[in-house]
Structure 1
Amino acid sequence: MALKYLIVFAQVHHEFRIPELRSIAELHGFTFSLPPSPEDQDPTRPYMVLDLDEEEHALILARRCILIKSVYEFYGQGSTYEELHASNRKNQARWARYVTDTSFRFIVTAYNHKIPQARQSEVVESFSYMGFLGKIDMKNPEILLGCFEEYTDRSGITRSKHEGDGQFRQVYFGRLLEEGSARALVGKFNVKKRVYYGNTSMESEISLLMANQTLACPGKLIYDPFMGTGSTAYPTMHFGAFMFGSDIDGRQMRGKEKVPGVIRAAKQYGTASRMMDICTFDVTRNPWRCGGLFDAIVTDPPYGVRAGAKRLGRKKELSEAQLALYMEYRNKPRSDDQPYFPPTKPYELSSLAVDLVLLARYLLKPNGRLVFFLPTVTEEYEEVDIHLMLCEGMEVIANSLQDFGSWGRRLVTIRKNTDREYPPPSFDQELQAPSTHIPAHKDFREKYFQGFKKEGEDVPVLE
């Protein structure tokens, strides 16, 4: 029989909450049920009651999910305290075992509101029918009982300190099962404390969420084809996976010291032994000679705001005379030891996204996941934008928005849903079927620097 547990979420990245829960449940081989009411499934709300088969499953979520603050054994809820107490009495079998000789502590708190101390005491007294005989211990209780009032968002409204007190949307009650220990990893992987990072390094909380979407765990092999300074690698390796990284510009991975920067940062986190290798190459001219290698691919492709995506090639083809001079120069022995940097050309984001999915289909094992960020223009975005980049054998299972106003970036999770083997992709856009629909992420860099002005609007001139 399924049991109910109250999840208390951290108040960030609400669209990432349910995908993260589902990923961790899939990783550990169990399922959960969301509340039956669509209103109670709203991921923007701070509390959610889940049905789980075992208490151990609730503990797993608390220890791995980055967005969980705490998990409580659920005793009751209601829109009034009368409803809450009626619900709590029905669950007496769950809390009766603590009545006789268990030390306890009550906390009464609220979301979007501060409860006066006097009413907090009244609320605690209203639970006197539970008849706890153990002593009250404010420092080290054997159990902690929590009562949570949820108020609607009233930010921007001028009001007195306790105005609207008691006019909550819903109130929840339960016993603390476990604090969300994974939240501490946000501080551990803080970019500002890292020995090696750059101006495109991903913030720690987001990189941890990406790692959870890959289902990272011991024994898995995961690849980042746009590794940069390695932000996606460290949390993934922390969870036990082995990591391989590549980038068209090896300087981003190496840095200026003898030991490559990403290796130094991995040593800082105690995960260097799980860094398989780092290589410099263009993903469209990659060295992979067989597919089905990786359990997941995780990456944050460059989209041109701080660093533009590149691929091998020339922006403008050489004339016959220029080509002859180039071939003559290339065949001469070099008198110095300067490295050769091949010419590159811009890699348009919508083309890169399509190619990335094709590469993932080739390199992933069956049920492997591709996890990547895709920037989009808010007003132009449509669901079809994501599905247009799909190919046979690939399906979208999560799409979460990090909103920045006029634009946002979407954490897209795509799963390989076939065991069929595919040949290496050609990355030739001309061979792919044309589409009449223009996705919101096409030419994103140009739109970003134009301030997302619509066609015909004036673009401000910077003096």
Structure 2
Amino acid sequence: MSNQYLFVFAQAHEEFRIPELQSIAELHGFEIAIPEDIDVTRPFAVLGLENEEHARILARRCILIKHIYEFYARGSSYAELHEKNRALRDRWEKYVPDTSFKFFVAGFNQSIPQRRQREVVEDFSYMDFQGKIDMKNPEIVMGCFEEYRDAKGTTREKHDGDGNFREVFFGRLVEDGSARSLVKKFDVKKRAYFGNTSMEAEISLLMANQTLASPGKLIYDPFTGTGSMAYTTAHFGSFFYGSDIDGRQMRGKEQQPGIRRAAAQYGVEKRVIDLCTFDVTHNPWRCGGFFDAIITDPPYGVRAGAKRLGRKKDWVPRTPHPVPTGPRPDDDQPYIPPMRPYELSALATDLVLLGRYLLRPGGRLVFFLPTITDEYQEIDIHTMLCDGMELVANSLQDFGAWGRRLVTIRKTGTENYPPPKFDSDSGVAPSEGEKTTHVPAHRDFRERYFQRFRSPAELAEEAAAAVSEMRLEASEPSKD
């Protein structure tokens, strides 16, 4: 890569930044050079691109980008920065003669007083710009960013520590990130239809980018719910097909289905092909290989548990009742088939196998997987993979004791794979070689969540203490 660019990121979802950049670069057919030692917790990163047009594409599509600058120099002090900037005069001297300009100085984790902002700008006088200073509509914007270390938890005055920055960056503005405005557009609180399981707007947009959503693509959500993934993928031009075992989630209570109403609100109703009610383990698909992507947030039991058709216990046939004849009573209710819990690790494994069956070669499966922070291992993800499917990205949204991982898997095989049998109870994908006995940490996640992720020993100790307390209370004489 011959050109370097300074990326300024929004301070949210740090682990999602690089996968999003790589996905949009892949979508548009160009490469992005990312240093191996990049620190994703920092808001600034210097990355390589072939030209400015690629930078503009990223800024207009990536949700986590605030600005992209043509990179000029960086340093641990202004003396070091100015020395490097002078040595790269060929990058900016073409703007010297007659280009209107503006200088912008900002700090991260620190408020910079106006007095020192003026001093910083004046120190760049050696650049000797001859054009007009235009603070409202300049032809170029020169940005200077001071990065300070996090001072949370300390008591200090507003400008204490001013000038003691970690590093300073300088460059010319190429494009402001315009995609972040979509977070407000798709705000769940402003949506015509939503529920308690609706995915927040920023995350659903990040997921849509991971699917490489673009005009003409066909994307499927097997756990549609209230349709959060439909609106964002359709916004980027894709056609959406959704299904759910509970049609009430998709329909709502009004005459027009809730997802249709919300899609009309966003102007993407015509891109929602259909919404169907069926159990994904008893799906109607008779052939595979036609979806460009599968995007979903499977229910894992915190706000709603996953279900599949079937009975919790073995069914015992009863004496059949005579079949009624005559007109159906007005108060007769439709038949609701019995359902049983769908264990998370088995669901995740089946989802990967379903993706391998339904996706076209190169298609992506994007879904969230909850994990227990202290017990998670990389093998938990790799045991779900099967022949013809490879891991693309694995990004954590941390909630403390637990988190959820945005997993992106690509179909690499070109052959016609068989449909999944949905009989997995182990949560481990079958393989041609030696089978693993590893038990993933997300197995029985719902039960572990409501047990506050305590170990079996802690639960046994707590139960023993409760029994001892009950016996003590029973042995005490009554006060009556």
Name which of 374, 382, 393 aligns with 2:369.
374
2:101 equivalent in structure 1 = 104
1:445 aligns with 2:438: no
Contact 2:279 2:308 in 1 (8 A): yes
Query: What residue in structure 1 maps to residue 35 of structure 2?
Result: 35
2:242–2:274 contact (8 Å) kept in structure 1: yes
What corresponds to 1:124 in structure 2? 121
Residue 9 (str. 1) matches residue 9 (str. 2): yes
Query: What amino acid is the match of 2:437?
Result: T
Determine helix, strand or coil for the equivalent of 2:115: helix
Q: Which moved more, 1:241-250 or 1:100-109?
A: 100-109
Secondary structure of the corresponding residue to residue 56 of structure 2: helix
What does the per-residue CA deviation read over 1:54-79, in whole Å, with 9 as the maximum and x for residues that have no partner?
Answer: 11000000000000001111111111
Letter aligned with residue 439 of structure 2: I
1:264 aligns with 2:261: yes
Per the alignment, do residues 435 and 120 of structure 1 end up closer, same or farther by CA in structure 2, a change over 3 Å counting? same
Aligned residue in 1 for 2:378: 383
Residues 396 and 403, structure 2, Cα contact 8 Å, conserved in 1: yes
Equivalent position of 1:192 in the other structure: 189
Partners in 1 of 2:387 and 2:356 — Cα distance?
A: 9
Conserved? CA contact 2:370–2:402, under 8 Å: yes
Q: Partner of 2:340: helix, strand, or coil?
A: strand
Q: 1:79 maps to what in 2?
A: 76
> How many residues matched?
454
User: Cα offset for 1:115?
Assistant: 1.6
Report the structure number with the largest CA radius of gyration: 2
Q: 2:162, 2:171 → 1: CA distance? A: 21
Q: Counterpart of 1:176?
A: 173
Structure 1 residue runs of 5 or longer lacking an equivalent are: none
Secondary structure of 1:340 counterpart: coil
Provide the rounded CA distance (Å) in 2 between the counterparts of 1:229 and 1:158: 44
TM-aligned CA deviation for residue 164 of structure 1:
2.1
Match in the other structure for 1:157: 154
Q: 1:82 to 1:158 in 2, by over 3 A?
A: same
* Cα displacement string for residues 109-138 of structure 1 (whole angstroms, at most 9, x for unaligned residues): 111111222221111111000001112122
Partner of 1:297: 294
- 1:48 aligns to what? 45
Cα deviation per residue 1:382-425 (whole Å; 9 max; x = unaligned)? 00000111111111110000000000000000000111111111
Moved more, 229-238 or 436-445: 436-445
Cα distance in 2 between the residues matched to 1:214 and 1:102: 41
Moved more, 160-169 or 396-405: 160-169
Distance (whole Å) between structure 2 residues aligned to residue 329 and residue 252 of structure 1: 34
Equivalent position SS for 2:228: coil
Percent sequence identity over aligned pairs: 68
Structure 1 residue aligned with 2:235: 238
Secondary structure at the counterpart of residue 110 of structure 1: strand
Deviation track 1:325-371 (CA, whole Å, cap 9, x = no partner) reads 3xx46787882353221110000000000000000000000010000
* Deviation of the 1:435 alpha carbon: 4.3
Please give the TM-score of this superposition, normalised by the length of structure 1.
0.95
RMSD over aligned Cα, in angstroms?
1.7
Deviates more, 1:398-407 or 1:1-10: 1-10
**Aligned position for 1:355:** 350
**After superposition, what is the alpha-carbon deviation per residue over 1:208-229, rounded to whole angstroms, capped at 9, x for unaligned?**
0000000000010000000000
2:328 pairs, out of 323, 326, 335, with 335
Partner Cα separation in structure 2 for residue 350 and residue 32 of structure 1: 34
* TM-score after normalising by structure 2: 0.92
Aligned runs of 1:309-320 on 2, under 5 Å? 309-320=306-317
Per the alignment, residue 410 of structure 1 pairs with 405
Query: Equivalent residue of 2:456, what SS?
Result: coil
Output the CA distance in 1 between the equivalents of 2:22 and 2:94: 32
Tell me the CA shift for residue 244 of structure 1: 0.2
Residue 20 (structure 2) pairs with residue 20 (structure 1): yes
Cα deviation, 1:40-59, whole Å, max 9, x if unaligned, reads x1111100111100110000
CA distance in 2, matches of 1:330, 1:361: 43
- Which range is displaced more, 397-406 or 136-145? 136-145
State the shift of 1:163 in Å. Answer: 2.3
C-alpha distance in structure 1 between counterparts of 2:52 and 2:175, whole Å: 11
Query: Counterpart of 2:410 in 1: which secondary structure?
Result: strand
- Partner residue of 1:428? 423
1:208-219 mapped onto 2 (5 Å cutoff):
208-219=205-216
State the Cα distance separating 1:160 from its structure 2 match.
Answer: 2.9
Q: CA deviation at 1:108?
A: 0.9
Distance 1:332 1:385, change over 3 A: farther
From the superposition, tell whether residues 334 and 81 of structure 1 become closer, same or farther in structure 2 (CA, over 3 Å).
Answer: farther
AA partner of residue 413 (structure 2): T
Between the aligned partners of 1:189 and 1:250, the Cα distance in structure 2 is 23
User: What is aligned with 1:456?
Assistant: 457
Cα shift at 1:34:
1.4
Task: Tell me which moved more, 60-69 or 119-128.
Answer: 119-128
Q: Which amino acid aligns with 1:335?
A: R
What is the DSSP-based 3-state SS (H/G/I as helix, E as strand, rest coil) of the residue aligned with 1:427? coil
Give the whole-Å Cα distance in 2 for the aligned partners of 1:176 and 1:104: 11
Q: Which runs of 5+ in 2 are unaligned?
A: 467-480
Whichever residue aligns with residue 423 of structure 1, its letter is P
